[in-house]
Structure 1
Amino acid sequence: MKKIIVYGVKNLELRRSIEYFLDDHYKIVGYTDGHYEYDVLDNQKFFRLEELCHQEFDFIVIASSSGATQSEIRRILLALNIPSEKIIRPTMFRGGSGEKGQTDLIANIDNHYCGEKSLIFGMSYSAWGIREKELKHSFYNCSWSGLDLYYNYCMYRYIEEHPCFLNIDTVLLVFPYYYFDYDMSRSFGQYESGQIFSIRRLDDWHHSDQVPGAYDYIANYRMFGEKITRFYHMPKWKGESPYTLKEPDGGILLDPLWFADHGETVEENQEIFVQFYKSIESRRGTPAIVIPPFYLEGLNLVSKTAFQAKKEKFYGILREQERLLGKIRVFDYADAFTGRRDLFREVTHLNSKGAEAFTELINRDVLGWIESK
C-alpha cells in the first residue's frame, strides 16, 4: 500500500476527485498546506510543512489546478528536501484531459476478442479508415490513435496469450511511411493528449524516462487510471465522419512527424519489425503491409518533398529487412484516391465514405491475393 499526502486542503472539486478516484493500492495518510494550519474541510490528519521531512510517504499530490501554483508548491517542497520523484501534479484532473475519452485497449481484447484469425494493426489510419466488419474475412482490429510499432507488437503478444487464440491467417500492418521514425513513448504529446493512456494496463512505458514531464502522467495513470477507466467506460467505437476536407489544394503542411528523422528509433523499430514479422509467420500467418491513402494534392511543396523523402526511406528500410525476412508484400494505396477530395476529412485521414472505399480496395486486392495463394 503506497502512502499519499495531499498538498492543498481547500480546492473542493479537485480534492474530492483525488479521493474518489485514488486506486485501492494507495492510501491518503494526511494533508498539508502552505496557507492553512489544519484541514479546513474534513478535519483529517494534517502535517505542517516543516513536519513533512519526518513523515513516511511515497508521494505528495498537489491539489491545485493552476500551473503557476503547482510550480510554486513544487519549489517549496523541493526546498524542504522532498525528492522530486515524490511530487506529483494531478494531470488527470486538469481541464480537458483526454484520458477520460480513451478506450482500454487491453480490456477490450479481454472482453471482445473472439479468436478471429485475421488481425489489423496500426494507428488512426486503420482504426477509423478500415471497416473491418465489411471485410470478406473475420478481422479483429487492434489499431488505435497514435499506436507505434512497439505497442502494436505488445498487443499482438498479449493476444497470443488469450484463451481463444490458436493460429492466424492474415495480419494487416497498416503503416504510414514515417512509421519507423516514430516512438509513441518518446512523444510528450501522447501523454499531454491522453492517447497513451489507452495502453495503461500494460504498465510498460518503454522510453518514457527520456521525456521530460511524462513521469507525472504515468504516476497519475497508476494512481487514478483504474477507477477513471471504470467510471467513464469509453468503448472502442467507430464514429461516423461525414466531413470533407475544406483547405485548398497545394497549401497544407504535414504534421512534424513527416519531417523528423530519429536514427535510434529507426534502428530499434527495425528490430521490433523483424520480431513481429517472424512471430506472425511462426503462427503460419501471412503478414501484409498496407500503406493508407493520402490526399496528396492538398500538400504544399515542402510537404510533398518531405512525403517523398519518407517514402524513399521507408522502402529502403524494407529492402534491408528483406535480407532477413525474404519478400515482404506491400500494398501501397498512398495515391489510390488521387483527385478524390470527397473521401478525406483531413489530408492524411479518410472520412466515412473514404473508409468504405478503402475497405473495398483491401477486399479486392489484399484479401484477393490471400485467397489466391
Structure 2
Amino acid sequence: MQNVLLRAAAFACLGVATLVGLVGQAHAAANCIKGDRKPPYTIGWANIYSVPTWMKETQGTIEKEVDALKAKGLVSKLVVTDAQGDANTQIQQIQSMIDANVDAIILIAGSSSAPARVLAAACAKGIAIMNFDSLVDTDQVTAKINTDSAQWGAQAATWLIDAMGGKGNIIVLNGPAGVSVSDDRRKGATPVLAAHPDIKILTETNTAYNVAPAQEAVTNLLFANQQIDGILSLGGALSAGAINALDKEGRPMVPITGENARQFLEMWKSKNLKAWATMQPNWLGAFATYAAVQALQGKDVPAFVKIPLPVISNANVGEYLAKAGDFPADGYIYSPYSDGLFDQLLAQK
C-alpha cells in the first residue's frame, strides 16, 4: 500500500510538473520568447538610417505607440540607435542592446544576411525581435512583418497595362539597385509585363527614392525616347520626379503608377492624372512595437505577418489628400491604424 501511495504521489507530482511545463510553453508562444521577462519593458529601435522622411515618419509611429504602452504600464523606455546606413554599425548597435538586456528589438535590416549571428544571440537571450520592411534571411527572430513587394509590382504593372489599353511604350523607374524592396517589386512586375507583348519597355533606370535624382534620370530618358505612353514607377518620390520632368520638357502626361508620397498625390490631383498607387505603411513600426509587447506577454505572434496592400485610385485619392496637412510636405500620407487593426493582423492564420 505504501508503494502504491508513493507511486500515486510521484504521478501527481509529474502531472503538476507537466502542467507547469505546459503553462510555461503556452506563455512563451512566440519564437525567442522564454516567458521570464516582465513589464514594463525596454524597447530597442535599431534604425538603419534616420534621414529619409519615410524613416522619420516611421520612427514617429514607434514613439507614439511607445507612449501609449507607457500609459498602460507596459513599457518603460525606448532606446534608439542610428546606423547611418552602415550594416556593420547596425550589428554593433544591436549587440549593445543585447548587452544592455533590452526586452525587444525593432529592426529594419541594413543587410539581409550580415545580422544573422547577432540576432541569434538576441533570440537565445529571450529578446523579442520584430523585423519589418527590409527583412533578414535568418529565422532567429520573433516575427517578420511586411507587405508583399512582388505583389506590389504585379498590381502596379497590371493597372498600367489596363490603363494603356494593353499596348504602348513604357519606361520603368526602380529604386536603388540591390535594395530588396525595389528588386522584389520589379520581379513581381516581370511576368505581368512578359505576358503582354504589345507593351514595349523602352528603357528603365535605378535611382534613389528622392524627387530630384528621379527628375534628372527621367529627363535623360525623355531626350532619348520621344514616344512614351506610360510610366511604371515603383516608388512615390520617383513618380513625383517623373511628373516634374514631363512638365518641364512640355511632354504630355501619361498613365503612371507610384506610392503614397504626398508630392505625388498632390500632383496627381492638381493635374487630373490617370494614376494608381499603394504604400508601405509607416505604421509598420508601430505595429512591430505593439506585436513585440504582445509576444513578451505570452501572446501567440505569427512568424510572418503579411500586411495587405492599400490601394489609392482616382476614386479615393481625395480622401488621402484631405489629411495632407497632418504630414510633411515631402512625406508620405499613410492609412490610419489602431490597436484593433493590429489585433486583426496578429489573428491572421
Under TM normalisation by the shorter chain, which class is it? under 0.3
TM-score, normalised relative to structure 2? 0.22
TM-score, normalised with respect to structure 1: 0.22
Greater share of residues in strand: 2
